[in-house]
């Protein structure tokens, strides 16, 4: 199969509506989309990504009408979060309506929904005219894609189309909040911080159950975000091997063989996955990631680094 590269959201939408799998940019990471109501097309996503069938997808919508079609009810806390963070980098989990095919939600009674804010994504979703089911556009277990080139590395010749956009602004996945329970529970930390959520709904909690025991967030039990190289969390620069790769905010006392010194926490988050992919391309054996305080964006960033370091 030849994968079409296009900058036209209209062309990409037409391919999706004809049954093709289309990767598209969002402000968090790139997604791998199928028409949500087309079960055969959604099935293709699981196959091409190598995704376990018990790990549900996110419904991407362009308007509130689509959102309402997919859910049974919107409790008050969900309403407040939607009001504050839609469109944007927040995904909320709500009781699903009868219209949602079981394959999308891996048989769960809930559905995860997000309304991306990136203009190009909105135009694409509007052209589709239907909710788009999409996981992150990476092979299962690999770091998410933050550029169309990363998507092409994983899926060239395997999907019908890549909608080319800029590099993702956040570079980390959306925050997933379960609003089918009260108070809301953060199932996956992400681009929107816990502190930001708590400013709107102060009772919002972090999920306390260990990932492998949390049936509410099936995706979290799988290995994620990992490059081929060994990832090490760096506490300080004593005893490091400078022939390795390094990413962080601090300037190292002497240069590593390959390094990215980020100018801020958000730059660190934005650059992490692309750096992982770059290090694999150069066949580095080890990547040091500087530890950052686990507050604000630092919580999601350390979650991803820790998962990449678990082998
Ligand atoms: O930023 C993002 O969220 C990107 C862009 C493309 O939107 N998408 C993304 O999708 O990261 P994915 O499939 O890689 O991660 C979705 C996460 C998984 O951990 C999955 O288990 C969880 O959301 N999830 C999906 N539906 C759920 C549900 N009904 N209940 C609980 N967790 C759910
Ligand atoms: Mg993913």
Pocket test for ligand 1, best of 62, 91, 223 (most atoms within 8 A of CB): 91
Predicted confidence band of residue 212 (pLDDT cuts 50, 70, 90): very low
What is the pTM (predicted TM-score) of this model?
A: 0.96
- Atom number of ligand 1 nearest to Cα 105: 29
For residue 306, how far is its CA from the centre of ligand 1 (angstroms)?
19
Q: How far is the CA of 250 from the centre of ligand 1 (A)?
A: 32
Q: Is the dihedral of CA 13, 17, 23, 27 positive or negative?
A: positive
For the chain, what is the largest distance between any 2 Cα atoms, rounded to a whole number of angstroms? Answer: 59
Query: Which of the four pLDDT bands, split at 50, 70 and 90, describes residue 44?
Result: very high
Kindly state the DSSP code that residue 271 receives in the 8-state scheme. Answer: H
Contacts (Cβ under 8 Å, ≥6 apart) of 225 = 142, 143, 144, 273, 276, 304, 307, 308
Residue 226 pLDDT class (50, 70, 90 cuts): confident
User: What element of type H or E holds 303?
Assistant: helix 297-309
Q: Is 244 in the pocket of ligand 1 (CB under 6 A)?
A: no
Q: What confidence score (pLDDT) does residue 33 get? A: 98
- Determine if ligand 1 sits within 6 Å of the CB of residue 145: no
Cis peptide leading into residue 43 (ω within 30°): no
Q: What is the pLDDT of residues 238-248, one digit of tens each?
A: 999 999 999 99
pLDDT, tens digit (0-9, with 9 covering 90-100), for 170-179: 999 999 999 9
Full set of structural domains in the chain with CATH: 4-206 (3.90.870.10), 230-309 (3.40.50.11030)
In total, the chain counts a number of residues equal to 311
User: Which atom of ligand 1 sits closest to the CA of residue 91?
Assistant: 3
Q: Which atom of ligand 1 is nearest to the CA of 216?
A: 31
In angstroms, what is the span from residue 127 Cα to ligand 2's centroid? 24
d(CA 164, CA 120): 9
Tokens linked to 302: 């350390």
């Amino acid at each position: 199969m030849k994968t079409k590269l296009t900058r036209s959201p209209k062309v990409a939408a037409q391919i999706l509506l004809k049954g093709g799998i289309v990767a598209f940019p969002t402000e968090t990471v790139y997604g791998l989309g199928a028409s949500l109501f087309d079960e055969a097309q959604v099935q293709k996503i699981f196959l091409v990504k190598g995704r376990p069938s018990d790990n549900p997808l996110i419904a991407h919508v362009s308007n509130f009408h689509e959102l309402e079609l997919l859910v049974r009810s919107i409790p008050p806390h969900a309403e407040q979060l939607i009001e504050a963070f839609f469109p944007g980098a927040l995904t909320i989990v709500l009781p699903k309506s009868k219209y949602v095919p079981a394959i999308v939600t891996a048989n769960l009674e809930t559905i995860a929904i997000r309304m991306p804010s990136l203009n190009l994504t909105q135009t694409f979703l509007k052209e589709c005219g239907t909710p788009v089911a999409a996981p992150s556009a990476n092979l299962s277990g690999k770091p998410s894609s933050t550029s169309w080139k990363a998507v092409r590395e994983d899926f060239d010749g395997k999907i019908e189309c890549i909608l080319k956009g800029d590099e993702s602004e956040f570079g980390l996945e959306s925050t997933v909040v379960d609003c089918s329970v009260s108070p809301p529970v953060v199932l996956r930390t992400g681009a929107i911080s816990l502190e930001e959520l708590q400013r709107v709904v102060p009772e919002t909690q972090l999920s306390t159950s260990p990932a492998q025991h949390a049936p509410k967030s099936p995706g979290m039990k799988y290995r994620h975000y990992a490059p081929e190289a060994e990832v090490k969390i760096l506490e300080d620069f004593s005893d490091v091997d400078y022939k390795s790769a390094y990413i962080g905010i601090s300037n190292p006392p002497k240069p590593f063989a390959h390094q990215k010194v980020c100018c801020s926490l958000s730059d660190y988050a934005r650059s992490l996955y692309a750096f992982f992919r770059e290090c694999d391309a150069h066949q580095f054996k080890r990547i040091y990631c500087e530890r950052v305080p686990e507050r604000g964006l630092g919580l999601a960033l350390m979650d991803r680094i820790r998962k990449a370091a678990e082998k």
